[in-house]
Structures are given as structure tokens and as C-alpha cells.
Amino acid sequence: MAVKGLRHLYAERPVIEDLTFTLRAGRAIALVGPNGAGKTTVLKCIVGSAEPAAGQILLDGSPIDERAEVVRRDVASLLDDLDFFPDLTAAEHLDLLARAHGNGTPEDLVDTVLDDVGLLGAADQLPGSLSSGQRRRLALATALVRPRKLLVLDEPEARLDSAGVAWLGEMLLAEKKRGTSILFASHDAALVDAVADETVTLTPLA
């Protein structure tokens, strides 16, 4: 994945100017910088929920198009808190997403991922009965039951306890080993140190 000369404006106010970086398979780049520096905006441009004023975002050399099947297949992202279906259990959410992304018999995968994210005991709970940290774990799990070449995560450490952040670091390192590229924004220096091969530092524009 490559970002070339990215520029973004909100109501004519520049927030990102001429940002360029390349992320290779199996590598991780962390976007760092203070509140308001533009990290989320960059991630939104990449997943297609914000429109750049200039620049290119390339996936395997072609401009990224979130409506294209290949992009929906290859890019797993978690930017905001997810809205869950109130009457589907944690396990049913993961089952649904796995099937929607082409895995017709996801039972074993769902159990493995629930175990990985520490939600096996909460598999049959409805989202409304999960704690905010457990909901966050379920949201991260939705990215793990689907095919992915690129993971785009905005502050994945948010609301996780220290054991959860440690798990997150291990999980992201395992993702890199299986060849997934990871682009994540984070305020957690230890997580960035553990996972990122490079950091891209953004600063708020005057």
C-alpha cells in the first residue's frame, strides 16, 4: 500500500499536506502525533470514508476504491466503535461476518478467534451486556474472522486493559508474520515500539 502526496481539507482548512509513505506486506506503520494532528483523517482517506483533496492511495499499485470487490476483500479496518446488532450474540456476529466474507463453515474459526480475544466465556452474550472493553475486543475480532491483506486500525488499544494491550501487540505481530500489512494510529508508545517497523509522525497544521 502506498500513499503519495496526500492532501486533505476540512472546509478549505488543510489538515494533511503532501503525505507520502509506503507500507510493504508483513510490515507495520504507526501514525503518531498529538490530538488533532490528522491521524484519523489519513486512515479515513485510506478506507474511503474521507475524500482526499489531492494525492493517491495505491493498493498493489492500483488506486484504492472502497467500492471495488478487491478492496472490500483485502482491507479490514476498525476506525470507530462498531454498531452491533442488539439481538445477535458475540459469536453470532463473528459467524455472520465470516460467512459474509466467504467462509461458509466458520464454526472453528469463530471459536478460535473468541478464545484469542478472551471472549469465549461471553460467546453467547448480547452486545448490550458486554463491557466497553469486551465490545472493543469483539470489534477487533470482527477483523480477524475475514480474509485480509491490510489492517487499518485507529487507536486499537482504546479501552483495553493492560492484558488486552499485551494481547493486541502479540496479535499484531502474528498478523505481520502471516503477511498482513498493518497501518495503525496510536498513542501507546509501548505498542508502537513493539509492533511498528516505522512511524509516521503527523503534526497539527497551523
Ligand X SMILES: Nc1ncnc2c1ncn2[C@@H]1O[C@H](COP(=O)(O)OP(=O)(O)OP(=O)(O)O)[C@@H](O)[C@H]1O
Residue closer to ligand X, measured from CB, 12 or 108: 12
The CB-of-32 to ligand X minimum distance in angstroms stands at 9
Instruction: Kindly list the residues in this chain that would bind ligand X in the complex (CB under 6 A).
Output: 10, 15, 33, 35-41, 185
Residue closer to ligand X, measured from CB, 14 or 118: 14
The CB-of-19 to ligand X minimum distance in angstroms stands at 12
Grid cell of 94 as nine digits: 463473528
* 206 Cβ contact partners less than 8 Å away, ≥ 6 residues apart: none
Amino acid at 45: C
Residue closer to ligand X, measured from CB, 32 or 151: 32
Helix (H, G, I), strand (E, B) or coil at 179: coil
Residue closer to ligand X, measured from CB, 154 or 175: 154
Residue with cell 463491557: 131
End-to-end CA distance of the chain: 29
Tell me how crowded residue 77 is: count the other CB atoms within 10 A of its CB. 20
CA distance 20 to 3: 5
CA distance 35 to 48: 22
The CB-of-36 to ligand X minimum distance in angstroms stands at 4
The CB-of-157 to ligand X minimum distance in angstroms stands at 12
Residue closer to ligand X, measured from CB, 15 or 114: 15
The CB-of-185 to ligand X minimum distance in angstroms stands at 6
